[in-house]
Amino acid sequence: MSETVRRKGKVGYLLLAPAALWLVLFFVIPFYSLVATSLFDQGGSDFRGYQMTYAFGNYVDVVQEYAGPFGRSLLYGAIATAFCLVLGYVLAYAIAFKAGRWKNLMLVLVIAPFFTSFLVRTLSWKLILADDGFIVNTLQTLQVLGDDGRLLATPIAVVAGLTYNFLPFMVLPLYASIDKIDHRLIEASSDLYANPFVGFFKVTWPLSLPGVVSGTLLTFIPAVGDYINAQFLGSTNERVIGNVIQAQFTDANNYPVASALSVLLMVLILAMVLVYVRRAGTEDLL
């Protein structure tokens, strides 16, 4: 008995080994290096080399200088996540409960965009939102936009792009959760005097919360870190933290600042996610 338990343990470790090795090589070591770099002396460069000076001041500098892009990243990410949740919930609900035999086809359509490149899809939004494109023209005709109003290079374009790009990450976990809900529970709620509206908020919504939590996380985390949408669909006024980090690494070659920004972003997201999961997890989740 104890022999088999021990052997099972060994097999477990063996199965874990390849992924663990991979993560040590390509995550733990680079991460250590990233944190170390963030504490290097800013005076260094590629040619002269850097000195480890435990320059925690890097973080102070970074916060003072780049609070704007940080705030925008979080704001755009949060708004896009909210839009994704509303659009995605309705879509996932329709696929799970109303699609019937079209269910599988609709799920394929949800993930179909993944078959083309993220970059290409974002660039095509440039055409959709272009100044002489039909959306802008229509909005101008309807007087929603002024005659020289535009969508491209505005926060609206950035949020729209983010919402579009991350919608599938919201829909799939939501669908998985909603599809699992036993229809008889909804019948039971209507038998117990809940009209469809009340029944939704008392039964369907709470039972879909696991999908809501994982969907919002899968959308929010990459949306905050994303800079492609801001770069292609926004102007310099919509620069998000990802743009800054990229510029610091590749253009300014200021590795300590870029690293400090990266570490800060990571810690920030991690803290927010922990608080969120904690609150959602202890209250209404199963």
Partner 1 sequence: MSQLAEDVAARAASDPTYDGLRLSGLTKSFGGGFTAVDALDLDVPKGSFFALLGPSGCGKTTTLRMVAGLETPTSGSIVLGGNDITYAKPYRRPVNTVFQSYALFPHLDIFENVAFGLRRRKSAQVKEKVEQMLELVELTEQSRKKPAQLSGGQQQRVALARALINEPEVLLLDEPLGALDLKLRRAMQIEIKRIQTEVQQTFIHVTHDQEEAMTMADTVAVMNAGVIEQMGAPAELYENPRSTFVANFLGQSNLISGTVVSRAADVVTVEMHGIQVSVPTGRTHVDGDQGWVGIRPEKVLLGEPGEQLDAPGNTIPGGVITDVSFVGVSTQYLVRMPWGQELQIFEQNTGRRRMFASGEKVELSWRPEYAFLLDQSQDATAGAQRDGQ
Chain contacts with partner 1 (rule: CB under 8 A): 182, 184-185, 187-195, 198-199, 202-203, 206-207, 284, 286
CB-nearer residue toward partner 1: 24 or 185: 185
Residue 134 or residue 193: which is nearer to partner 1 going by CB? 193
Q: Which residue has the tokens 């699609």?
A: 99
d(C-alpha 103, C-alpha 171), whole Å: 13
CB of 89 to partner 1, least distance (A): 17
Query: Closer CB to partner 1, residue 37 or residue 208?
Result: 208
Q: Which residue has the tokens 């733990």?
A: 28
Q: Which is nearer to partner 1, 8 or 101 (CB)?
A: 101
Nearer to partner 1, 207 or 221 (CB): 207
Structure tokens at 201: 């908020």
Q: Please tell me the distance from the alpha carbon of residue 116 to that of residue 114, in angstroms, as a whole number.
A: 5
Least distance to partner 1 from the beta carbon of 272, Å? 25
Among 253, 229, 254, 233, CA closest to 242: 229
Distance between CA atoms of residues 84 and 89, nearest Å: 8
Least distance in Å: CB of 99 to partner 1? 18
CB of 188 to partner 1, least distance (A): 4
Q: How many CA atoms lie within 13 A of 61 on its CB side?
A: 15
Contact 226, 58 (CB under 8 A): no
Distances (CA, A) of 172 to 21, 29, 85, 208, 220: 30, 33, 11, 12, 15
Complex with partner 1: residue 168 or 199, whichever CB lies closer: 199
Three-class secondary structure of residue 201 per DSSP = helix
Q: What is the smallest separation between the CB atom of 192 and partner 1, expressed in angstroms?
A: 4
Q: Which is nearer to partner 1, 148 or 191 (CB)?
A: 191
Q: CB-based contacts of 113: which residues, under 8 Å, 6+ apart? A: 121, 168
Shortest reach from residue 216's CB to partner 1, in Å? 19
Task: Report how far residue 237's alpha carbon sits from residue 217's, in angstroms, rounded to the nearest whole number.
Answer: 26
Nearer to partner 1, 132 or 283 (CB): 283
CB of 284 to partner 1, least distance (A): 7
Adjacent-strand bridge partners of 49: 45
Rg value, the chain, Cα:
24
| Rounded Cα gap, residues 57 and 62, in angstroms | 9
CB of 206 to partner 1, least distance (A): 5
Backbone angles phi, psi at 52, to 5 degrees: -80, 110
